[in-house]
Amino acid sequence: MSLIGHLRELRNRIGIALFFVLIGTAVAFWWYEQGLGQFIRAPYCGLASDTRGLPSQPDGDCDLLVIDVLGGALIRLKISFIVGVVLSSPFWLYQVWAFLTPGLKKSEKRYGVAFVAASSSLFALGAALAYIALSKGLELLIGLAGDGVTVALTAQEYIGFVISLLVAFGVSFELPLIAMVLNLIGVLSYETLSKSRRWIYFLTIVFAAFITPTQDPFTMLLMAAPMCVLFEIAIQIARFVDKRRAKREAAEGLAGLDDDEASPSIDAASPLDTTPSSLDEPAHLQR
């Protein structure tokens, strides 16, 4: 396939992916009034009514404050786009996959599918835990304002806070998967991971303390504890992978060899000939 052909294929795949994102955004825009908006506001509406600036509605729902004319429309469009990207992810991810697969081997395709499935699941798990921690984090942070203070959150501030928390949890849960991938390609060994276990757990807690937007201990521990468990699972998988790799190298006679060391001959009766071959003398030097 020529370069122009690749570019034309990429253009078509991007166009199809954007079309599915547009459809997902339209569905989310319609869904906003059917319960999506209430689902997003639920952690804030679950707080005590005396801590919120606006009173609750008769059905128990609550409102967020919008201080400009276009604020409400922009917030709805922003939420619809983000949810639309998530809803249409199977379709636009397939377009990415269809563009890349012609250049991959069968084993690489298998690993690629496993990586996409695992990364998507971990991101969803992190986002779900972030949503669970959201109400507790808001309660703690708003409660620190003390008595006599009413916190009226604007829609822009609240939605930005929710999105940053969901993304922070989702991305942080990808780190153990990256460590496992580095082990699979031979960059990071089980021995290195095992020796660094204490540092990994310590740095995970420090990372959770800095990355959580709420900065409260409950949310930090809710992020750090599953990450430590996932890192331990990655370490144990690395242990299994390194054992299989060692057995395979021993069977092929490659065990104990450095990366820059020549491998022994498979057939001992015909060792490798290391004698340099003769070069033809250039014509202008021949006599």
pLDDT in tens, 236-282: 998 998 888 888 877 766 555 555 555 554 444 455 566 666 665 55
CA 163/CA 92 separation, integer angstroms: 21
Please give the mean pLDDT across all residues of the chain: 79
**pTM for this prediction:** 0.70
Q: What is the pLDDT of residues 53-110, one digit of tens each?
A: 666 565 556 777 787 777 778 888 888 888 888 888 888 878 887 787 777 777 667 7
DSSP lists the bridge partners of residue 52 as: 151
Give the position of tokens 């955004």.
25
**Residue 254 CB burial class (10 angstroms; 0-12, 13-18, ≥19):** middle
Give residue 95's identity as a one-letter amino acid code.
Q
Type and span of the H or E element at 141: helix 106-143
